Amino acid sequence: MDIVATMKYARMSASKGRHLARLLRGLRVSEALKLVSFKDRKSAVLICKTLKTAVANAANNAKMSADDLWVKETVINEGPRMKRIWHGSKGSAIPVLKRTCHVRIVLTDGKIEEKS
């Protein structure tokens, strides 16, 4: 059975979090939480929060133990961009894009076979 948790509109660009998301695929939840908790990146905080939410969803909604769960999928997609202006010299305006992302984590209760 698959358990899904999603964090939407996180204030971070998607490319900054995808490297860490790739590392988590196929790990046990306990190992994934250890890996994420020792990283000094903003993406680690957001992924850790979403991962803990997925574990809580599994425990409360599906009555599953956290010891039996594996990370099946971690996806970080782009969200909407906020368009702002940075004022430049001589009355010019420089466009600034403030990016957001959506973090999606899928947990499963069975072992995942890695593709070589």
Q: Give Cβ neighbours of residue 12 (< 8 Å, ≥ 6 apart).
A: 42, 43, 46, 99, 100, 101
pLDDT at position 19: 94
pLDDT tens digits, residue range 42-98?
A: 999 999 999 999 999 999 998 998 888 999 999 999 999 999 999 999 999 999 999
Q: Which helix (DSSP H) or strand (DSSP E) does residue 55 occupy? A: helix 42-61
Kindly indicate the confidence band of residue 107, based on its pLDDT and cuts at 50, 70 and 90: very high
pLDDT at position 111: 66
pLDDT at position 23: 94
Average pLDDT, the chain: 92
Portion of the chain with pLDDT greater than 70, in percent: 95
How many CB atoms sit inside 10 A of residue 25's CB? Answer: 17
Mean pLDDT of 8-30: 94
Residue 28 structure tokens? 């046990």
pLDDT at position 112: 66
Kindly indicate the confidence band of residue 113, based on its pLDDT and cuts at 50, 70 and 90: low
Q: At residue 116, does pLDDT exceed 50?
A: no
List of domains in the chain: 2-108 (3.90.470.10)
